[in-house]
Amino acid sequence: MQDPSGASLLQLIWLASPALPVGGFSYSEGLEAAVDRAGVATESIASDWLVDQLQLSLARSDLAVIAQAIPAWRRADTERVDALNAWILHTRETSELRAQTEQMGRSLLEWLRNHHTATPEQIAACAAMQPTYPIAYALAVAATQAGVRDGLLAFAFGWAENMTQSAIKAVPLGQSAGQRILARMAAEIPAAVDQAMAMPDEDRQAFSPMLAILSAQHETQYSRLFRS
C-alpha cells in the first residue's frame, strides 16, 4: 500500500514520537531494577541489555503481535484481534508490565478518538476488548496507508527512544552515550522487525525470566524514577 502524499509517513513519525501522550516516558520496563540489582552500570552494558531486550523480547512478542494485528484490523477480523490482545494480557509476567500495556493502550485509544483516522466502529471494537498498547497501536497504523513493516519500524524506534531515555536517567548516562546506544539499536531494528513479520503464532513467546524477576523486584524498589 503506497501513499504518495507522504501523509502516512508523517502519521508513523507522530506515532513514534516520545511526545505522543501515552505515557511511554514514565516506564523503564525493568531497566531501572536492572541498574539497581543486575549491574547495568555503564554505557556498554546498557547497550547490550537493550539490544538483547529488542531481539529476545520485543521482536518475539509485541512486534510479532502487531505484524498480525494490522492486517486483521484492515480486514475487520475483530475475533483475531481480540485473540492477539488476550495473548498480550496473558503473557505479561508482572503486574507492572500488565498495567503499563493497559494504561498505554487506553491512552492511545483516547488519542485515536480525537484523531479522526480510525472509524467509530473500529474504535468501539477496540474499546470493547480493553486494548493493550500493541493492539491500539496496530489500529492506529491500520487506519493509515502505511505498510506493515513501516509500522513495525516506527513502533520499534519509538520503543528504543523511550528506553534510551530511561537508560540516560537511570544509569545515568550522558546524551552522547544515549545517542550511541540509539544508533546501535536503530541498526538492529530492521532485522528484529523482519524476524517478527516471519514469526508464526506457535513461535511467538514472551519468555524473559530475568526481566520478569527484575520487574517484580521493581515493584518494591526503595527509590525509583519509573513506573515499571
Buried b (16+ CB within 10 A) or exposed e, 96-121: bbbebbbbbbbbbbebbeeeeebeee
Is residue 19 a part of any domain in this protein?
Answer: no
Q: In the predicted model, what is the mean pLDDT of residues 25-53?
A: 95
Q: Distances in Å between the alpha carbon of 189 and those of 68, 106, 192?
A: 18, 26, 5
User: pTM for the complete prediction?
Assistant: 0.96
Is residue 171 a part of any domain in this protein?
Answer: yes
pLDDT of residue 223: 81
Write down the residue that cell numbers 505498510 correspond to.
147
Q: Could you report the per-residue pLDDT of 75-90, keeping only the tens digit for each? A: 999 999 999 999 999 9
Is residue 221 a part of any domain in this protein?
Answer: no
Q: In the predicted model, what is the mean pLDDT of residues 18-43?
A: 94
DSSP assignment of 43-109 equals HHHHHHHHHHHIIIIITTTHHHHHHHHHHHHHTT-HHHHHHHHHHHHHH--SHHHHHHHHHHHHHHH
Spatial separation of the C-alpha atoms in residues 10 and 140, rounded to whole Å: 13
pLDDT of residue 96: 95
> Which structural domain range is residue 112 located in?
26-215
Domain CATH number, residue 129: 1.10.4190.10
Spatial separation of the C-alpha atoms in residues 40 and 31, rounded to whole Å: 8
DSSP, collapsed to helix, strand or coil, labels residue 142 as helix
pLDDT surpasses 70 at 72 = yes
pLDDT surpasses 80 at 155 = yes
Is residue 187 a part of any domain in this protein?
Answer: yes
Q: Distances in Å between the alpha carbon of 91 and those of 84, 101, 111, 147, 212?
A: 11, 11, 25, 27, 11
Count: domains in the chain: 1
Spatial separation of the C-alpha atoms in residues 68 and 65, rounded to whole Å: 5
Band (pLDDT 50/70/90 cuts) for residue 222 is confident
Peptide bond into 71 cis (omega under 30): no
Is residue 153 a part of any domain in this protein?
Answer: yes
Is residue 11 a part of any domain in this protein?
Answer: no
Is residue 69 a part of any domain in this protein?
Answer: yes
Average pLDDT score, the chain: 94
DSSP, collapsed to helix, strand or coil, labels residue 216 as helix
H helix count then E strand count, the chain? 11, 0
| 94 phi/psi in degrees, rounded to 5 | -135, 160
Band (pLDDT 50/70/90 cuts) for residue 132 is very high
Spatial separation of the C-alpha atoms in residues 194 and 199, rounded to whole Å: 9
pLDDT of residue 18: 87
Write down the residue that cell numbers 468501539 correspond to.
124
Is residue 157 a part of any domain in this protein?
Answer: yes
DSSP code for 116: S
Q: How large a percentage of the chain has pLDDT more than 70?
A: 98
pLDDT of residue 2: 59
DSSP code for 38: S
pLDDT of residue 65: 98
